[in-house]
Amino acid sequence: MTAAQDKFGRPVVVVTGMGVVTSLGAGKTDNWAKLTAGESGIRTITRFPTEGLKTTMAGTVDFVPVEPFSSTDLSERLGDLAAEEAVTQASIGSKGDFPGPLFLAVAPVEIEWPQRQELARVVGTTDFSYDDLLRVCGGGKFTRYHQRFLFGSVADYLAEKYGTKGSPISLSTACASGATAIQLGVEAIRRGEASATLCVATDGSVNPEALVRFSLLSALSTHNDPPQQAVRPFSKNRDGFVMAEGAGALVLESYEAAAARGAKILGIVAGCGELADSFHRTRSSPDGKPIIGCVRNALADAGLAPEQIDYINAHGTGTPENDKMEYLGISSVFGERTSQVPVSSNKSMVGHTLSAAGAVEAIFSLLTLEHQRIPPTINYEVPDPAIPFDVVPNKARDARVTAVMSNSFGFGGQNASLILTCEPV
Amino acid sequence: MTETASPKMGSAEVWITGIGLATSLGEGLEANWDALNQRRINVDEKAFAPYVVHPFAPVNLDTQIPKKGDQRQMEAWQRIGTYAAGLALDSAGLKGNKEILGRMDMIVAAGGGERDISVDTNVLNAEAKGNAGPGFLNERLMNDLRPTLFLAQLSNLLAGNIAIVHGVTGSSRTFMGEEVAGVDAARVALARIAAGQSDIALIGGSQNGERKDLLVLYEFGDFNLKDKFAPVWARERHAGFALGSAGAFLVIESKAHATARGAKPFARLTSVVADFSRRKHPGDVTSTLENLWSKLGKIDAGAIITGASGAEPATSEERAFLTKHPGFAVRATGTSFGHTMETQFPLGLALAALSISRGALFAPGDSSGVEIEMSETPTQIVVIGTGHWRGEGMALVEAIK
């Protein structure tokens, strides 16, 4: 086994560029500083009226101007910011010529309320049917909306701007999407299809209907005041997740390609695991088997034993259900060692960045490896005795970290785990 | 995805061992095959006038989705897809085989986002009347949306429903992005199996074309076929497509895996290629298609099954490509089934595999002259997917030697 191949004879996949934007700020430096300071990016929503909503706070990204505004445009802008940072850091290819494919995790694109309302204004009457709306859509007035609201529009924009190769892929595995984007890149490199991939995950969806949708599923925290204290992963008084926006981008390369061009290696994606759950559309199987299987798959793919994991970057949404199931899954695999492995949730500070989460948190995991410092789980005032994790409560902690597991468990039962290391394993 | 040996790049032969079709022409392989050979087309020019759609041929959902509760949790596009996925698993002889289904990979090409038209219309009318305070939209949505509608809209929940109803729980990935998402689902699933990263996969998609909200999106670009049906090759007076309703799923697996369990294959999925032409200059699509053709592998003779949409300029550019390959009998699935977007390419793969397994290409779909009879037995069929806006893909489906 050379440095370029892992213990299974596959090309080692390294990270040579990372970019991130969240409610904490733009870029790795600002995000890392605030994350390790235990700051929260959750705020009361000011983007639109919140009267009539049970949840009035989110981790919105309000410092990125988008005009005219749509969630799709914001998602594209965030993905672009993250990709720019990652590609610049990697110093790979040349401007507009990325030597590999694009994998983009993105929320399903759809026409939004402002556009519907605009159509209604064009109809101009006060007792109209959907057919009347249809009648004013054509004739060339709204061609930009066809392009904007195709499912592939964000990926197409990024593929054109960064000059990625081949057909760009837009993917969704709900809350695991960001991890799946990385996994697709890893697989492509391992089978020799690409020596570099651009993996981007973005979500800019805090709008009225998105908030209502999650609210109707009773998934959201209603701890609106103060908003910074709403996300309480693993606490006895946790009451749901908080929607948030953000993007993460990674440049992945084969070790061989990275070494050949003298690229700085930021970390290694040692293993990826996934497993689907067939129990329920929003709840995990009570026996935890899919989560256990997913975690075991990731460890097996990396060729590591549970004892070799120094830190778990949890899915940790702060819902009563997820945190309990995550504990069941982790403790089943890690056994007696469970309470000694630090397990913290970035979502306690940046909220749930949904389609972006898996990538955002993979980047935070890689920064944990770089800085040898574990970000805390904040808002941890009332421990849940049924979840005796060491959650790295409230304050960041210096630690010797060589291998990190990052978990993402999505709606619709799509689970993914990544193993990230500083050195080849 | 646990790999325990050095993967040989692209070396495993991959077979199509199961096909599930539920379309506007009927359900199952026989019904669709017969309809094609009888040149039967199911279009509705009235219900969505002036738009033309291909409505779904009703099925008994209970036979593939036994629990009414499961059916109610889905919108039509998910019911169609979950039904067709079940047919594919039956076709592959895998229904109820927990050992295999538990580790079966899945890549679904999905749209989604079906709206509650009455909720949307009521909100917009009330706002137009001037009754709407700042929290009006919030209150209406909180009160009028049924809580599970979101799950019925989410693109990744077609895969989620297939997992729940049929027990497919290996990996589960959903690709979005119109026509080329269907190409890439097949491309990535094939590449994984060929490289030893997977043994067996379920690929496919579904669309409900009887959707006014979907018509809105394409109407923005003037892409909808209006007033009167016309075959794909005969739309010079008004370019565009008629939304189709269909679910098309395939089971693909390595030859070794299929042989070991005694599976009877339909055909070999030899290669799938895709690209993203920037379409900045006339002829860009034609040259991209030519480039993809050259990457498929050695093609001696055969047929072409295309999902050409009828949209312009993509369809004319594809015709220019086809005239450069005159020896191949062409079939446009857009004529018979309508344009099913993400599902069009899996539909083409299914028909290619079916044709090869039956030793015959189905009848021409129109009398424009573009589609000619084919009397020989096809052993190679190229499937083409040219996006109405972006994305190009091709596959080579071959008889097993």
Summarize pLDDT for A197-246 with one digit per residue, the tens: 999 999 999 999 999 999 999 999 999 999 999 999 999 999 999 999 99
pLDDT of residue A1: 42
pLDDT of A37 > 60? The answer is yes
Q: Do A152 and B177 touch (CB under 8 A)?
A: yes
- Say yes or no: A168 and A251 in one domain: yes
Q: Which residue among A51, A145, A279 places its CB closest to the CB of B134?
A: A51
- Say yes or no: A134 and A27 in one domain: no
Task: Tell me the shortest Cα–Cα distance from A304 to chain B, in angstroms.
Answer: 12
Q: Do B197 and A215 touch (CB under 8 A)?
A: no
Q: What is the CATH number of the domain that holds A176?
A: 3.40.47.10
Q: Do A190 and B129 touch (CB under 8 A)?
A: no
Residue B284 dihedral angles phi and psi, to the nearest 5°: -60, -45
The token duo for A386 is: 């049924």
Q: Which residue among A111, A276, A414 places its CB closest to the CB of B217?
A: A111
- Say yes or no: A125 and A90 in one domain: no
- Say yes or no: A123 and A263 in one domain: no
Q: Is A175 in the active site?
A: yes
Q: Which residue among B169, B175, B195 places its CB closest to the CB of A170?
A: B175
Is A239 in CB contact (< 8 Å) with chain B?
no
In a domain, A48, yes or no: yes
In a domain, A6, yes or no: no
Taking a contact as any Cβ pair under 8 Å apart, which residues of chain A between 128 and 147 contact chain B? 128-131, 133-134, 137-140, 142-143, 145-147
- Say yes or no: A350 and A287 in one domain: yes
SS (H, E, C) A278-336: CCCCCCCCCCCHHHHHHHHHHHHHHCCCHHHCCEEECCCCCCHHHHHHHHHHHHHHHHH
Tell me the chain B residues in contact with residue A54 when contact means C-beta distances shorter than 8 Å. 142
Spatial CA neighbour of A82 closest among A200, A221, A211: A200
What average pLDDT does the segment A339-343 reach?
97
Contact A157, A334 (CB under 8 A): no
Q: Do B135 and A414 touch (CB under 8 A)?
A: no
- Cα→Cα distances A335→A293, A295, A304, B110, Å: 15, 13, 15, 39
Tell me the chain A residues in contact with residue B51 when contact means C-beta distances shorter than 8 Å. 134
- Say yes or no: A123 and A165 in one domain: no
Q: Exposure of A147 by Cβ count < 10 A (0-12 exposed, 13-18 middle, 19+ buried)? A: middle
Is A116 in CB contact (< 8 Å) with chain B?
yes
Q: How confident is the model at residue A412 (pLDDT cuts 50, 70, 90)?
A: low
* pLDDT higher at A165 or B133: A165
Tell me the chain B residues in contact with residue A53 when contact means C-beta distances shorter than 8 Å. 135, 138, 142
Range of the domain at A322: 13-110+149-413
Domain stop point among A124, A148, A172: A148
Residues 6+ apart with CB under 8 A from B96: none
How are beta strands B105-109 and B200-207 bridged, if at all?
A: parallel
pLDDT, tens digit, 9 for 90 and up, residues B182-191: 999 999 999 9
SS (H, E, C) A135-147: HCCCCCCCHHHHH
Residues 6+ apart with CB under 8 A from A284: A277, A290, A291, A321, A322, A325, A409, A413
**Residue A165 identity (one-letter amino acid):** K
In a domain, A393, yes or no: yes
In a domain, A8, yes or no: no
From the candidates A223, A272, A294, A315, give the one annotated as an active-site residue: A315
Q: Do B180 and A410 touch (CB under 8 A)?
A: no
Give the chain B residue nearest A116 (alpha carbons). B124
Q: Where are the beta strands (DSSP E) in A9-138?
A: 13-22, 25-26, 43-44, 57-58, 102-106
Distance CA(A136)–CA(A119), nearest Å, equals 7
- Positive or negative, the Cα torsion across A160, A166, A172, A176? negative
The token duo for B51 is: 């738009």
pLDDT of A15 > 60? The answer is yes
pLDDT of A278 > 90? The answer is no
Mutate to test the interface with B, among A53, A121, A172 (most CBs of B within 10 A): A172
In a domain, A248, yes or no: yes
Give the chain A residue nearest B215 (alpha carbons). A134
Q: Which residue among B117, B177, B393 places its CB closest to the CB of A170?
A: B177
**How many distinct structural domains can be found in chain A?**
2
Q: Do A152 and B128 touch (CB under 8 A)?
A: no
Task: Tell me the shortest Cα–Cα distance from A30 to chain B, in angstroms.
Answer: 32
Question: What is the complex's ipTM, to 2 decimals?
Answer: 0.97
Q: Is A315 in the active site?
A: yes
The CATH number fitting domain B271-398, selected from 3.20.20.140, 3.40.605.10, 3.40.47.10, 3.10.20.30: 3.40.47.10
- Say yes or no: A228 and A274 in one domain: yes
pLDDT, tens digit, 9 for 90 and up, residues A99-126: 999 999 999 999 999 999 999 999 999 9
Distance CA(B167)–CA(A222), nearest Å, equals 35
The DSSP bridge partners found for residue B107 are B173, B203
The token duo for A160 is: 């054109």
Q: Which residue among B2, B120, B219 places its CB closest to the CB of A137?
A: B219
Contact A86, A249 (CB under 8 A): yes
- Cα→Cα distances B288→A105, B133, B295, B396, Å: 26, 52, 11, 16
What pTM does this model have? Answer: 0.97
- Say yes or no: A232 and A117 in one domain: no
Q: Over chain A, what is the mean pLDDT? A: 96
Q: Do B157 and A281 touch (CB under 8 A)?
A: yes
pLDDT, tens digit, 9 for 90 and up, residues A56-77: 999 999 999 999 899 999 999 9
Tell me the chain A residues in contact with residue B278 when contact means C-beta distances shorter than 8 Å. 160
Q: Low-confidence residues of chain B, pLDDT below 50?
A: 1-8
Q: Do A172 and B113 touch (CB under 8 A)?
A: no
pLDDT of residue A2: 59
Is A414 in CB contact (< 8 Å) with chain B?
yes
Q: Do B159 and A412 touch (CB under 8 A)?
A: yes
- Say yes or no: A229 and A142 in one domain: no
Q: Which residue among B2, B163, B274 places its CB closest to the CB of A300?
A: B2
Contact A410, A315 (CB under 8 A): no
Q: Do B164 and A130 touch (CB under 8 A)?
A: no
pLDDT of A12 > 60? The answer is yes
SS (H, E, C) A146-189: HHHCCCCHHHHHHHHHHCCCCCCEEEEECECHHHHHHHHHHHHH
Tell me the chain A residues in contact with residue B173 when contact means C-beta distances shorter than 8 Å. 171, 173, 180, 184, 414
Find the radius of gyration of the CA atoms of chain B: 21
Helix (H) or strand (E) holding B210: none
Provide the total of helices (H) and of strands (E) in chain A, helices listed first. 13, 15
From the candidates A175, A199, A294, A422, give the one annotated as an active-site residue: A175
In a domain, A422, yes or no: no
pLDDT of residue B367: 87
Q: Do B137 and A147 touch (CB under 8 A)?
A: no
- Say yes or no: A103 and A43 in one domain: yes
Q: Which residue among A10, A52, A171 places its CB closest to the CB of B138?
A: A52
- Say yes or no: A130 and A167 in one domain: no
Q: What is the fold, at CATH topology level, of the domain defined by B14-116+147-260?
A: Peroxisomal Thiolase; Chain A, domain 1 (3.40.47)
The least confident of A11-20, A272-281, A288-297 is A272-281
pLDDT of residue A285: 86
In a domain, A58, yes or no: yes
pLDDT of residue B241: 98
pLDDT of residue B159: 95
- Say yes or no: A318 and A363 in one domain: yes
**Region for residue A252 given its phi and psi (left: phi exceeds 0; alpha: psi -120 to 50; beta: otherwise):** beta
Taking a contact as any Cβ pair under 8 Å apart, which residues of chain A between 157 and 176 contact chain B? 159-160, 166-174
Q: Is A223 in the active site?
A: no
Tell me the chain A residues in contact with residue B190 when contact means C-beta distances shorter than 8 Å. none
Spatial CA neighbour of A243 closest among A203, A277, A274, A270: A203
